[in-house]
Every structure is written in C-alpha cells, then in structure tokens.
Structure 1
Amino acid sequence: MTRTTSHRVRAVALGAAGAMALAGTVALAGPAAAAPGGSKACEKKQVNDTVAELTECVTLNGVMEHLEAFQAIADAPENAGTRASGTPGFTASADYVEKRLRRAGWEVSRQQFDFPFFQLRSSSFSRVAPTATTYQVGTDYVPMTYTASGTVDDRAVTPVDIDSTTSGCETEDFTGFAAGTVALVQRGTCPFGLKAGNAAAAGASAVVVFNNAEGPLNGTLGAPGVTIPVVGVPTTLGRDLATAGTTIDLAVDSTSEIRQTENVVAELPGSTSDNVVMAGAHLDSVPEGPGINDNGSGSAALIEVAENMAKVDLPNTVRFAWWGAEELGLLGSNHYVASLTPEQREDIGLYLNFDMVGSPNFARLIYDGDLSAFPAPPGVPVPEGSDQIEYVFEDFYEEQQLFYEGTEFSGRSDYQAFILAGIPSGGLFTGAEDIKQPYQAEAYGGEAGVAYDPNYHQVGDDITNLDPEALDQNSDAIAYAVLTLGYDSQRVNGVVGKPVPGGTFEGDPAAREYRLSAAQPNGGGGLHAGHDHEHGEQV
C-alpha cells in the first residue's frame, strides 16, 4: 500500500516519543535478564498460570536452546544444511518437537501426508550457435519448479506454433516435430505442465517456454511427472531462440518426486473441548538453508511457550501445530484443515500464526484483523473476531511501550487455510524480503533501505540471522496471547471463560499510543509469490 503524507507525518511525530519509550521499556523477560533456559529455570514451578509467571519463564535463552537444536540438525552431515520437508533434516526437526512436547506433558500426534517435493541443485543454459552466449539464471532464464534433471548438448531449437496463444497446448502442435530437439513454446492458455508433457511425448529433449509479457518467467509444472528439463525465459530471448539454426546447451540438476512429510500437533486439554485456541508455526525450511528465522523462530517460540504452560489448568483447550511443507504452498496447514470434519472445524475458536518472529532488521507487525490498514484479500473476507485477536497483541505491545503496525492477510502463510474455513485468525510477523522504511528504523531501530531479513530463503538464514530483542519480545507476546485467550476467548468469539490471572490489558483500540499509522506492504510469512504460485494459466 502506498504510504500517504499524513502517515509519514504521524511516523515522524512519534519519533521523539519513540526514542523515549524505547529507552524506558522494561521487557517482561529481556535478553539481559534471561535465565539459563526458560524450562530449566522454571522447572520447579508446578503452574505458570499468570501472565507474569509465564512471561518470566519464557526466556530468550530458552528459545535459543531450541534454535540451536534446529541449527545442529541442519548442520549434521546427513542433513546437508537444510530442514526442508521431505528431507531427513525435517524429520529430525519433527522428532525434536515431539520429544520436547511429550516430555513436557502435552498430548502429541503426527499427521503424515504425501506432497510434491522439488529441489533444484544447479543449472546452466547457453546458446551455441549462431552466436555463443551464456545466460544467467534468475534473469535470463529460470528452471521451472518440478522440472526434471537432464543435459542437452548442442541441440537444435524447434519453435512450436509460437505465434499462437495456444502454443504447445495441443498434441497437433507437435505434428512433424523433430525428435531430440528442444521445443520452444510461448506461454499462454494452458498450464506449463501440459505444454511440457506434450513436448516430451513428441520426443523433445527439453522445453524452453518464453513469456508473453515483459520480464523473466518464473513458472511451475504443477507437480512432478514431466521427464525432461523445462526452463522459462523472457519474451525477447524466446524470440531470439526461434532464429533458424539456433542450437543450445542446457543442464538441470534437480529432484522432482512425491515424498512424505508431516504436521506435528500437540494438545493441552482444557475444561471444554469445543472451543480450541490454536496456534501454529511452519517447521520446514527452504532447501537452500537451515531456516532459523524462517521459520525456526516461530517454531522455537511455540516450543518454549508450550513447555512452560504445560501444567496450566485452562477453560479452553490449547492446540499447537508445527506445519510441514509450508514453503511448497502451505500444504501442511491446508491438509490439516481439509482433514477436519465440519464439527472439528467448528470446535476451533481461533487460530494464531507465528511465521518469522526474529528478523534481524525487524519491524513489529500484527496481522491486520480490523482491516484498518489493508482491505480484505479479494474474495476472502477476514472472519469476524480477527480484529479482537489483533487487539490482544496490541494490548501487549502497548503495555510494553513498543511501537507496532499492521500487516496484511496476503495469503502467504498458514493462517490462510483457517481464514478460508471462517476461523478468526491473527498473529505476528517481523518481516522478510521487503525493505525497511525510514519511519520504521526510527521506531524499531535497525537500518532503513535494507530488507527486514537480508538472508531470507538463503543459506545465511542461520543461528546468527536473528535479532534477540525482537525474538525475546515476541516470545513473550505469544505467551501472553495464548494464555489470555486460553482462559477467555469471549472478545473473539463470544465464548465466555474466566479472566487470566494477572489481568488483561484490553486498552481502547481507538486510543493506541504506539500503533504506527503506516502499513506494511506485501504481507507476511515464509511463503512468497514466485514460481510455486505461477501455474501458467495466465495469458
């Protein structure tokens, strides 16, 4: 969303107050006062049933203990630096979550499901004739998601009905096709997977799809199954490759197959089972790295909160989930919600999502449940009660005198399945690849003009890729919200419980002092628009 002049003035006006507030803030469990580990420091406590007790026991060091375990899992030689779904590193991460939660006393289950696995290790692409040219991945070409491995050397390019919007969509397009050559097709009308499948059936050694609009073509074949390499290129390059006598070299090293992964679900039964307070974080990383901020941070914070509230006697049942295959299209959370009966979906009173809560150049972002900063996603109304979830997190930040702002429900993280099911949702996010603005640097610290997480979806998302202040504050915010709503969700869905011991803040949403009047564009979460969401149906 474009930031208006009045928003900028408001942000600047808050600058002086912000400096004073930040200087005077006393965190509930700040880094300097962190105990040697949340669960260890509080293991003699039988119950942490007040806000003060729970946030005292949920410590930065306790969260870091779990993040160090995730880093060690990724670093193990057999895990090759990743915790992606479908790899041994993810299974080891799920084992760790189950072990910690069972030991704390939670009821734990693991929900397995099949999913399409894809990993690209390397690629190269060049023109041999008529003019030797080496192309750069990411700008000149992009291997499509679910492309097969393969190598072609000095193979001729055969254009396939490239002046038609249905290029490659019909088997008749390949009549007379020279087997062993590379098929060149234009994007449009039908999915990329259909074009590639038709080309493979005609004997093509590879497929190059060129865009029908300006810019690179990031595409997906939709699922494993295509048996030859497939890449996307911009329009101009595609037209150049149609020149008579063109030959190319193309090599792709990838894995594309159906694998199995799982969700880990833990439950703390309350007095009633038909008003479940649910919170989730995706457990998987991308294949490129260990995923310590994305999303070890949300996963570790949930473990730490769970371990320290395991003996609380709550009116509402609390259910935590660590999702699999989020990075491949929100698959775990979608599978979970789809597997529920209508009665089971009705029993979920609300959902809280925590995806990246320790970004190194962070902003404090709360999903915009009252739609005051962003409109509802097209065709997806935000369920009633989501505004009150936003206010619960605002209550916490206001009490701590910490600036915060809204972030849109963009469909880029696991709350999406719950919103589509009509379940009130909310959560926290500290930013991914988008750029931090000057007003945000003034309010939160950090550096304007730099991404919230410069190592987002890269090998550098490791144990050093965190801001301890954000991670500590947000872990306490998670503890506060889960405990408060576990006692009483009336403000969200009308189901009366009892007040959380220690009280709730419940300030007037219209009188917020620390809410920034500026909006964070492009949404929150680990899943981002790219070739996983571009299926080629567009023309």
Structure 2
Amino acid sequence: MPSRHPVPSPGRAPAARRLTAGGAAVVLALGLGLAPGTAHADESVLPTLVTTESIRTHLENLQTIAEYNGGNRASATAGYDVAAKYVINQLRRAGYTPVKHTYEYESWGENSPAVLTQTAPEEREFAPADDFVTMSYSGSGDTTAPGVPVNADSAESGCSADDFAGFPEGAVAIALRGTCPFSEKTQNATDAGATGVVIINNEPGPLNGTVGTESAVPVVGVTQEVGADLLAAGEGLELRLAVDAEVTTQSSYSITADTEGGTPDNTVVVGAHLDGVAEGPGINDNGSGTAAVLETARQLARLDTPNNRVRFAFWGTEEEGLIGSTRYVEGLSDDEVEQIALYLNFDMIGSENFGRFVYDGRGELDGSLPPPSGSGAIQKLFEDYFAGRDLVSEPTEFSGRSDYSAFMEAGIPSGGVFSGADGIKTEEQVEYYGGVAGEPYDANYHTAGDTVEEINWDAVGDLSDAIAYSVETYADSTLPVNGVARTQQAQEFDAERLGDLWLR
C-alpha cells in the first residue's frame, strides 16, 4: 500500500537533526501548502513518521530470516536468534542500547502425533487437530481402557474428588470443560487411578489447552461434537489414548531498550512478542506487532527527549505460555514495578480479515480480567483516536491471552490494539471494516500461511498510526492513566488463559 508519509528506509542511520513536535508541525503545514499555525496544536508527529512501507520492510526481513532458518522464528531456534539480532541491530542504529533478559524454561513438545481411538462399542479413529488436541504438558502414556464420564451433567465436572467416587481404577476419565482449571481435573483423575483424561469442549471448535505442569497421565481435549458422541456411546465405551511427549529445559531471552532521556520513575513500557509458532514464519503473529513497535522506537529517537522514559520490549517465548514477559515482570523489585506508569501491548495488527479492536480497559466485557485502575483511560485514548479519524473501533477482551497478563497481575495499567486472530467476523463488522462474514479474522493464524502476502496493509496503517500516537502521547504525559501519585487497586486476578492456551 502506498505510504502516506515517506521516510528513510529501515536500517539507515537516523538523521542527526532531531525533530520537535512544533517544528515538525510547521514542516508538515508548509509541505501541504498551509500557513504555519493552521495545523492543530495537538497534532501528533510520530504517526507521520511511522510508515507502512517501513513496517513492510521489517516484515519482509523477518520472513526472509524465517525462510533461511527452518521456516519459523520459534523460541530457542536459529530463526528466533537471527530475528533478535535484527531487532538489536536496528535499535542500535537508532541510538538505543538494547539489553537481553535471559531465562530458562521448561519446554513441552510431542515426539509424534497423539492417538485417540474409540475401540468399542464400535471402532472410530479421531483426527489430531480436527477432533482433538493434546494439552500442553500432557504426560506420556499408551492406554486402552473403558471411557468413564465423571459428573458429565455439570460445569464442575472433575473439579472435586467426590466426582470420582467409585471410579474404576485404570479407566480413562471423561470430563467436561467448566469452572476449574484442567490441571485440577487431571490431578483428581490421576488420584482416582485414571490412566488418561479426555476433556470435552463446552463450545464449538478445538480445545487448545494446557495442564500447566507435566501430568502423570496423557490428557487431550476433544471438540464438543466428539464429546457428545463419546457420552452417547454409553457404558460399553472403550478408548485408546496415546501421547508421546517430553519436557526439556530450554533457554531464551527477551530484548528491551530505553530512550536516552525521560523521567525514569515514570516509564512507559511498549511491548510485542518476537517469537512465533513452529508451524510458519509468524508474520502477522507477531511480526506485525514487532515491526510496528520497532519502527515506532526508531522514529521516536528522532524526536526531542521525551518527558517520560519509554522502554521498548520484544518478548520471547510468548507462544509457549507468556514466559518472557512473565519472567521479566517477576524479576522486577517493588520499586521497579512502581516506576512503570503503564504497559502497551501490540500482538497482531495486520490480520487479513481484520477488525479494529481496543483492549477492554474498563472491564465491561464478560471475558475480561479485572483491569488495574488507569486501564480505562488507555482504552479511551485509542477509542478517541479512531473516532477522530472517523474509524470504527470495538472493545476486545482482556482475557490474559497475551503479554499484558503479567503487567495487569502486577497492578500496572495496560492497554493496546489488536486486529483479530481466530475469532469469527460478523455481518455487522463487515459494514465497519469490509472483509468476509463468517470467516476468521486471520485464517492463517498459527499456520505456514502466516506470510507477508496475507497481511492487510489497511489494518497495519490504521493500527500502527494508533500505536505511534499512543507512544508519543504517553511519552509526554501519563496524567490520565496514573495521575501525579500512582495508585493501584488490589483485585483478584484469575486468568482463564496462559497465552494462547486455555487453563480451564
């Protein structure tokens, strides 16, 4: 898509002359044939410097890196390491001093596809990914045994040891998804002598979940449709369940870079996850957020010293459970947490069948976690920005699905924008954004098809402008978010997701 505001291509050293907001406004006014002073006094400069062409160049470079390094940028791979070197190089050229934050983590993976087969009363094979998904951190095992439902009429199925009263030792437990974490259902089943666990989704589609830590028995999630068939099979149901998986210790890292100036005790953190899934190059998820944050950092370095320090963060191992961002926040002292004014998260901004979604900082949606005070002000900033451009935006759940999770749990006001992932576009949303109703916002989500060719550049243009605007605004003042003396509200934080994986 042609750029609205050409700038030097990424990789070139920024001009020695630094731009001021006022000076840039005059330059822009003259360039448009307007008299100085006709431009709005509060007009933001950074969105004019962060261009879609520059973001596209970053994305093309990230895709090339993936193509030459195993086809992906997953954590603890060559693709991730080279992508990290690219980000570090770009930041250094812009005048930053990037810092690596290294951590070890337990990485779970399957050695071969799992097997779920109904062996009685009639034989039926179920297909991995379509009919069932192995839960991450499932233990290994190969069992053929009766399939026994536990409290299958309740959303609390498997949540209590009482549900397993009289459970036949050695059987495969069948539980419904519901009110308690999968880890609790699995532990209760294991304690009752189960040799495997099958958890039925309570909504259409696959159940991509996690048991948190390695279980003693194999655990899979099945679709609502498959689950109904298993329950209908009655007392004669027999299943074969086989999982071959292991947990290994891996090392990875996140990258942060601070502006040279700005008040250090009122730091604005701006983050995107750098890693992708193993299935493909991960250009929308999350090359798009990475590229927009990287280009925003490069262009912010051209402006005058900000009032508030801005820290740009590129998180590792998001796709395996928000590990990089979580370890970072866990490693902060109480004083360091207090110095963070707010957190902005940008995870996917170029979905082909996109929407303009703003994180629910007011906590109005049913699936949102309780947002820290000040998050609603961040939501309003983005909503007002889009409304000022006559663009529709909608709230999206603060569900704990991305790297904002650890910041929110620490009581840090959080916000951001998002173009959609595996949700389905409605007819009404087609009127807002165009695209196709009844299809995912990103049909290539977590697949080999997540490439530059599938990026929607209108989405990138709209959302990257909003990103640049928010960073410039909060680099100047965070007053509406955290006031003069920042306060936090202690609230119970009980996430349903760990990154992309359901916990319950």
TM-score normalised over the length of structure 2: 0.77
In structure 2, the CA distance between the partners of 1:141 and 1:242, relative to structure 1 (3 Å rule), is farther
Which residue among 52, 58, 65 is the counterpart of 2:57? 65
The one-letter amino acid of 2:312's match is F
CA-based RMSD of the aligned residues comes to 3.8
- Identify the structure with bigger relative contact order (alpha carbons < 8 Å, sequence gap 6+): 1
In structure 2, the CA distance between the partners of 1:241 and 1:195, relative to structure 1 (3 Å rule), is farther
Tell me how far apart the structure 1 counterparts of residues 382 and 361 of structure 2 sit (CA, whole Å): 11
Q: Give the structure 2 partner of residue 278 of structure 1.
A: 269
Q: Give the structure 2 partner of residue 259 of structure 1.
A: 250
Using the TM superposition, give the Cα deviation of residue 214 of structure 1 relative to its aligned residue in structure 2, in angstroms: 8.9
Using the TM superposition, give the Cα deviation of residue 297 of structure 1 relative to its aligned residue in structure 2, in angstroms: 0.6
Tell me how far apart the structure 1 counterparts of residues 474 and 404 of structure 2 sit (CA, whole Å): 17
1:368-403 per-position Cα deviation (integer Å, ceiling 9, x unaligned): 3345x536945x2x2333233233323432443323
Q: Give the structure 2 partner of residue 93 of structure 1.
A: 83
Q: Give the structure 2 partner of residue 503 of structure 1.
A: none
Which residue among 236, 239, 256 is the counterpart of 1:243? 236
Using the TM superposition, give the Cα deviation of residue 219 of structure 1 relative to its aligned residue in structure 2, in angstroms: 4.8
The one-letter amino acid of 2:331's match is S
Q: For structure 1, which segment, 33-42 or 442-451, has the greater mean C-alpha deviation from structure 2 after superposition? A: 33-42
Q: Give the structure 2 partner of residue 446 of structure 1.
A: 435
User: Does residue 1:194 correspond to 2:187, yes or no?
Assistant: yes
Using the TM superposition, give the Cα deviation of residue 114 of structure 1 relative to its aligned residue in structure 2, in angstroms: 2.4
The one-letter amino acid of 2:290's match is S
The one-letter amino acid of 2:471's match is V
Q: Give the structure 1 partner of residue 310 of structure 2.
A: 318
Q: Give the structure 2 partner of residue 46 of structure 1.
A: 17
1:36-95 per-position Cα deviation (integer Å, ceiling 9, x unaligned): 75446883353244376533332112111211122122222x43x222223332233222
Contact 2:113 2:128 (8 Å CA) reproduced: no
Listed as ranges, the matches of 1:115-264 within 5 Å are 115-120=105-110, 122-127=113-118, 131-138=122-129, 140-148=131-139, 152=142, 156-157=144-145, 183-187=171-175, 191=184, 194=187, 207-209=196-198, 211=200, 219-224=209-214, 226=216, 229-232=218-221, 234=227, 236-237=229-230, 240=233, 243=236, 248=240, 252=243, 254-264=245-255
Which residue among 335, 338, 344 is the counterpart of 2:336? 344
Contact 2:316 2:323 (8 Å CA) reproduced: yes
Using the TM superposition, give the Cα deviation of residue 320 of structure 1 relative to its aligned residue in structure 2, in angstroms: 0.9
Contact 2:159 2:185 (8 Å CA) reproduced: no
Contact 1:34 1:61 (8 Å CA) reproduced: no
Using the TM superposition, give the Cα deviation of residue 332 of structure 1 relative to its aligned residue in structure 2, in angstroms: 2.2
Stretches of structure 2 lacking an aligned partner (at least 5 in a row): 26-44, 486-494
Q: Report percent identity of matched pairs.
A: 39
Q: Give the structure 1 partner of residue 401 of structure 2.
A: 412
Which residue among 378, 388, 392 is the counterpart of 2:377? 388
Using the TM superposition, give the Cα deviation of residue 482 of structure 1 relative to its aligned residue in structure 2, in angstroms: 0.8
In structure 2, the CA distance between the partners of 1:354 and 1:132, relative to structure 1 (3 Å rule), is same
Contact 1:271 1:315 (8 Å CA) reproduced: yes
Give the 3-state SS of the residue equivalent to 2:269 in structure 1. Answer: strand
Using the TM superposition, give the Cα deviation of residue 240 of structure 1 relative to its aligned residue in structure 2, in angstroms: 4.7
Stretches of structure 1 lacking an aligned partner (at least 5 in a row): 1-29, 497-522, 535-539
Listed as ranges, the matches of 1:411-430 within 5 Å are 411-430=400-419
Contact 2:120 2:236 (8 Å CA) reproduced: no
Q: Give the structure 2 partner of residue 105 of structure 1.
A: 95
Give the 3-state SS of the residue equivalent to 2:267 in structure 1. Answer: strand
Contact 2:268 2:308 (8 Å CA) reproduced: yes
Contact 1:383 1:425 (8 Å CA) reproduced: yes
The one-letter amino acid of 2:325's match is S
Contact 1:488 1:495 (8 Å CA) reproduced: no
Give the 3-state SS of the residue equivalent to 2:468 in structure 1. Answer: helix
Tell me how far apart the structure 1 counterparts of residues 197 and 99 of structure 2 sit (CA, whole Å): 44
Tell me how far apart the structure 2 counterparts of residues 241 and 67 of structure 1 sit (CA, whole Å): 52
Tell me how far apart the structure 2 counterparts of residues 406 and 481 of structure 1 sit (CA, whole Å): 17
Contact 2:14 2:94 (8 Å CA) reproduced: no
Give the 3-state SS of the residue equivalent to 2:314 in structure 1. Answer: strand
TM-score normalised over the length of structure 1: 0.73
Contact 1:268 1:318 (8 Å CA) reproduced: yes
Tell me how far apart the structure 2 counterparts of residues 291 and 342 of structure 1 sit (CA, whole Å): 35
Q: For structure 1, which segment, 35-44 or 466-475, has the greater mean C-alpha deviation from structure 2 after superposition? A: 35-44
Contact 1:31 1:472 (8 Å CA) reproduced: no
The one-letter amino acid of 2:15's match is K
- Count matched residues: 456
In structure 2, the CA distance between the partners of 1:41 and 1:112, relative to structure 1 (3 Å rule), is closer
Contact 1:289 1:458 (8 Å CA) reproduced: yes
Tell me how far apart the structure 1 counterparts of residues 13 and 201 of structure 2 sit (CA, whole Å): 60
Tell me how far apart the structure 2 counterparts of residues 133 and 326 of structure 1 sit (CA, whole Å): 36
Tell me how far apart the structure 1 counterparts of residues 498 and 150 of structure 2 sit (CA, whole Å): 36
Q: For structure 1, which segment, 61-70 or 216-225, has the greater mean C-alpha deviation from structure 2 after superposition? A: 216-225
In structure 2, the CA distance between the partners of 1:89 and 1:240, relative to structure 1 (3 Å rule), is farther
The one-letter amino acid of 1:343's match is D
